[in-house]
Structure formats: structure tokens, C-alpha cells
A = this chain, B = another copy of it.
Amino acid sequence: MVVVMKPGSSEEQIQHVCSLIEGLGLKVVVLRGTNRTVIAAIGDKREQDREFLRAAPGVESLVPILAPYKVASLEAKPEPTVINIGSALIGGEKICTIAGPCAVESREQIIRIAREVKQLGAGALRGGAFKPRTSPYAFQGLEERGLEHLAEAKSLTGLSIVTEVMGVETLDLVARYADVFQIGARNMQNFHLLRAVGERGKPVLLKRGMSATMDELLLAAEYVLAAGTHDVILCERGIRTFEDHTRNTLSLSIIPALKERTHLPVIVDPSHGTGRQSLVIPMSRAAIAAGADGLLVEVHFDPERSVSDGAQTLTVEMFGELMRQIRKVAEAVGRTA
């Protein structure tokens, strides 16, 4: 950590900051420049909150040097983590495509979709039983009945189940059915939930919050990892910006940037990331080309009858086309799909 003092800060203020830093168990080096005094703090106490230093008289700014996460970092584990979710691996040479409807709507719907995406090469089945909806008047999911339908689809196809858990109070229920807990973008910083999910030990698919920085995503993963799980899959799903040609701005540069920081696998959700059916295939190709380990895609045999997210949902035929296209791109980057 480096503390930058204001121009004209007094010797007393400098000494006061030094003593605050030493109180944290860190070593101090004072650098007196032409215009500014800078105080460097040496030592690794990244788990301590040091923001309070900004309030000390004479302090202009505080520059952290160490990344605030540990277990998620490449320094802690230099080799990539490959996660076994049952019906597929995520993080290995083969791209894993998790496909299915936005929401489970009926037994027939989820079984039909599961069979079709399985045949086309999906590695796991997605489908929401609890749905986070912006409006209280929108469809909120079939809840336990939806989970039962997912279980039946799994038993018929062998596809593992990726489904969202929305709160600690429904975690026991979801845990009976899910192979992978999905944490939605709106819950990326629901810290009680992160910790509770982490304690279960099952793989967790953690979606990036709509306005989360890379470090905040890794710190959310750190909550899950610190609670006991080894297996966290990071998922880029678009961020909120001023752009209006898509629902969100899919920020693919986070894929190679994460790979320089963490051993965890990274997948992409081009459905929410664009919000537009016609952009899902090109952005899936781009995600794989950028180095993504997998995709999370919304597929329905009749998008316009789907109860939610129809605008961004692929038909089964389009999903077949997506698989054909990403196989070629995967090969171009030395992988398979």
C-alpha cells in the first residue's frame, strides 16, 4: 500500500500516518518528493481494512498494491482449475455449453429441451425454478415443482443441472436437485448467500454483477472459496453502460484479463450479455475466440411462447447452428467443443 500525502502536509501529519501504518503491523518507508510526500507500507496484511487511513489529516489518496483476494489468485494456485460438474468438465480443453430455457415452464417443456440440446452437444442443462424478476408482477418460477422437473430431465438425459439459488432460505431445497448452484448477477454481492453456498462444497457458477469490477468479481469468488468450495465458475454476462443497441455490454476482454489473475474457469452468457437473439451466435464465437471455457445459453423450442426472456432465446435449430460454428472457432484456438 502506498499513501500519498497532500502538498504541504505537515511533518506531524506524516508521522501520524506512519504510526497508524505501523499499528497495522506493517513496515514504513517515507519518500519525500519534490511536490509530495509518499509513504509506502510494506508487508502483506491485505485482509485488514485500511480505508480508514484516507480519513487521517493530510492524506490525499491511498493506493493498494496487492490484489485483495488470495485463494482465487494465480499466486495461490498457478495451474488452471478444471471443474467436474458431473456430465462435463469446465476449464479443460473442451468447451462446455450449458443450455436450456430461461425458466422451467412445465415437465414436458424442460424434458423436450433437455433432450434436444443434449443431442446437439450441450454439456449441462440450465433452467430456472426460482426466477429473479425486476417486476413483482412477472412470473416468478415454478419453485419446487420446477426443480422436480429438472431432476426428471436429468435422469432421462444424463445432463447435470445448473440452476439459480436466490436466497439462503431456499438453499436446502435447491441443494437437493442442483449439480451446480448458479448465483445470479443481482446476488453477486449477497454475501450471506455466497458464504452459505460455499459451505455446501458443490460447484458454484458465479455471475458477474451488472456493475462489478474484475476485482469485485474475484472477491465475490473469494467469499465462496473461503467458505470451503474449491469449484467456482466465473461468468461474464454483460455490464451496464450507456449503450442502447444491446440490453447489456458484453465485455469479453475480462476473459483474458481474468486468466492473468486467477486459476478459475471463465464462461460467457451471450443471451443476457446481448439481450438479442440475432447477436447470440456471433458473440458466442467471439467469446470462444477470446478464450472462454464455456457458454451459458438460453434455448427454447418456441422462444415467442417462452414465459420470460424470449427476445434473447435461441430456437433449437439456432442452437444447433451455434454448436457447429463454435466447434470451428474452438478448433482455431486449439480446443474442442
Q: Which residue of B lies closest to A282 (CB)?
A: B256
Contact A253 B257 (CB under 8 A): no
Chain B residues whose CB sits within 8 angstroms of the CB of A255 once the complex forms: 282
Query: Does A232 lie at the interface of the complex (its beta carbon under 8 Å from any beta carbon of B)?
Result: no
Residues in A292-313 with C-beta less than 8 Å from chain B: 303-311, 313
Task: In the complex, identify which listed stretch (A32-40, A80-88, A117-125, A151-159) lies at the interface while the others stay far away.
Answer: A32-40
| Pair B241/A135 contact, Cβ less than 8 Å | no
A166 → chain B, closest Cβ, in Å? 5
Encode A16-51 as 1/0 by CB contact (under 8 A) with B. Answer: 000010000000010111111010101110111101
Residues of B within 8 A of A316 (CB): none
Interface-central residue, A137, A193, A260, A305, by most chain B CB under 10 Å: A137
B288–A289 CB distance below 8 A: yes
A275 (CB) vs chain B CBs: closest residue? B54
Distance in angstroms from A326 CB to nearest chain B CB is 9
Nearest residue (CB) in B for A33 is: B42
The answer to whether B192 touches A169, judged by C-beta atoms less than 8 angstroms apart, is yes
Which residues of chain B have C-beta atoms less than 8 A from A169's C-beta?
A: 167-169, 192
Chain B residues closer than 8 Å to A251, beta-carbon distance = 241, 243, 249-251
**Shortest CB–CB separation between residue A1 and chain B, in angstroms?**
9
Neighbour of A219 across the interface among B43, B136, B253, B331, CB < 8 A: B136
Residue contacts A-B, CB under 8 angstroms, 21 given: A33-B65, A35-B44, A36-B66, A49-B135, A49-B307, A52-B303, A53-B304, A55-B277, A55-B310, A68-B135, A132-B191, A136-B219, A167-B168, A167-B169, A186-B190, A187-B190, A190-B190, A210-B211, A214-B244, A252-B252, A256-B278
**Which 6 residue pairs spanning A and B have beta carbons closest together?**
A52-B310, A54-B311, A47-B137, A289-B289, A211-B211, A55-B310
Residues of A at the B interface (CB closer than 8 Å) are: 2, 4, 7, 20, 29, 31-36, 38, 40, 42-44, 46-49, 51-56, 63, 65-66, 68-69, 75, 132-140, 166-170, 186-187, 189-193, 195, 210-211, 213-216, 219, 222-223, 226-227, 239-246, 249-257, 260, 273-274, 276-279, 282-283, 285-291, 303-311, 313, 325, 328-329, 331-333
